[in-house]
């Protein structure tokens, strides 16, 4: 298989975890819940797929000096940043493609793929490889942006195709034609536009979905951001948390879909 990848991917199109209360909540919650669902017991092996700068890989490797956590990343630049961190020694860093994982069948007890699947050239091939390298009974934790969320639908309706964007703090920025990018469409380095149904169907093909929840509501929608910006910090955080509690029960409406799936024993 010959694939064309951005092997020098960097942070150019990464949405930073800054901005208003909604941005702070989304990024913190996505990380906390993804790590919580990636259950790895002592002695088990974990693969972080598309590990980027390796924060999640290192978090899951804490307390395991044997180095059973593996971070796989196609970008040499990102992997170099990850390996240079002070606590990077507990992780095996591997450069490779998710469509062609360089591991034997049944190598891992858990796989984490957070915010990365839409960067890959062939997501169905990635899922087939995840199923292959998981041991029987092993689990995948997947977190992925939902471009059919309420926020994205409302944004497209509001803009009427004009392509305006927001920075996540509720401020309208430049139109897409002037160099901006609408928040409700994938950035240039995201190769697939996933909605909730697409994510569910893709994972359910090789694995059994055990748990699904949503993360955050209305991220990026300008009226929501402006409302939060007008409120003092405590009530703004409370409002975002209340919306987040609703999102957890409505993954089809949420900004991020988080799920855990199991390989048949």
Q: Is 231 part of any domain?
A: no
Number of compact structural domains in the chain: 1
> What DSSP designation does 97 have?
-
Structural domain boundaries enclosing 57: 21-146+187-217+247-262
Q: Is 30 part of any domain?
A: yes
CATH code where residue 25 lies:
3.40.50.150
- Read off the pLDDT of each residue in 31-40 and give the average, rounded to a whole number: 94
Whether the predicted pLDDT of 183 surpasses 70 = yes
**pLDDT band of 174, cuts 50, 70, 90:** very low
* DSSP string for 119-139: GSS-HHHHHHHHHHHEEEEEE
Q: CA 49 to CA 210: how far, in whole Å?
A: 20
Whether the predicted pLDDT of 20 surpasses 50 = yes
- Cβ-based neighbour number of residue 226 at 10 Å: 15
- Read off the pLDDT of each residue in 214-218 and give the average, rounded to a whole number: 98
pLDDT of amino acid 169: 36
SS3 state of residue 171: coil
Percent of all residues in the chain with a pLDDT value above 70, rounded to a whole number = 82
Q: Is 124 part of any domain?
A: yes
Whether the predicted pLDDT of 177 surpasses 80 = no
117-134: pLDDT as tens digits: 999 999 999 999 999 999
User: Pick the residue with more confidence: 64 or 77?
Assistant: 77
Q: CA 151 to CA 184: how far, in whole Å?
A: 7
Q: CA 141 to CA 111: how far, in whole Å?
A: 6
pLDDT of amino acid 175: 34
Q: Is 84 exposed, middle or buried (0-12, 13-18, 19+ CB in 10 A)?
A: exposed
86-110: pLDDT as tens digits: 776 678 899 999 999 999 999 999 9
């Amino acid at each position: 298989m010959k694939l064309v990848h951005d092997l020098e991917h960097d942070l150019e199109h990464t949405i930073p975890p800054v901005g208003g209360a909604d941005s702070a909540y989304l990024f913190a919650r996505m990380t906390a819940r993804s790590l919580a669902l990636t259950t790895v017991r002592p002695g088990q092996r974990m693969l972080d797929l598309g590990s980027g700068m390796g924060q999640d890989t290192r978090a899951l490797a804490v307390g395991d000096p044997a180095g059973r956590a593996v971070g796989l990343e196609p970008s040499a630049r990102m992997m170099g940043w990850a390996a240079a961190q002070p606590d990077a020694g507990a992780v095996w860093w591997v450069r490779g493609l998710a469509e062609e994982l360089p591991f034997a069948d049944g190598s891992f007890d858990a796989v984490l793929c957070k915010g990365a699947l839409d960067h890959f050239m062939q997501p169905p091939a990635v899922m087939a490889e995840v199923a292959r390298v998981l041991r029987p009974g092993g689990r995948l934790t997947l977190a992925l942006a939902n471009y059919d969320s309420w926020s994205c639908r409302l944004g497209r309706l509001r803009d009427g195709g004009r392509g305006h964007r927001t920075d996540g703090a509720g401020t309208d920025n430049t139109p897409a034609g002037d160099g901006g990018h609408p928040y409700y469409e994938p950035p240039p380095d995201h190769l697939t536009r996933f909605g909730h149904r697409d994510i569910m169907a893709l994972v359910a093909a090789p694995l059994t979905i055990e748990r699904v929840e949503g993360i955050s509501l209305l991220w990026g929608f300008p009226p929501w951001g402006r409302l939060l910006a007008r409120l003092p910090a405590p009530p703004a955080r409370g409002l975002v948390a209340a919306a987040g509690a609703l999102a957890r029960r409505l993954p089809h409406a949420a900004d991020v879909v988080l799920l855990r799936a199991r390989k048949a024993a």
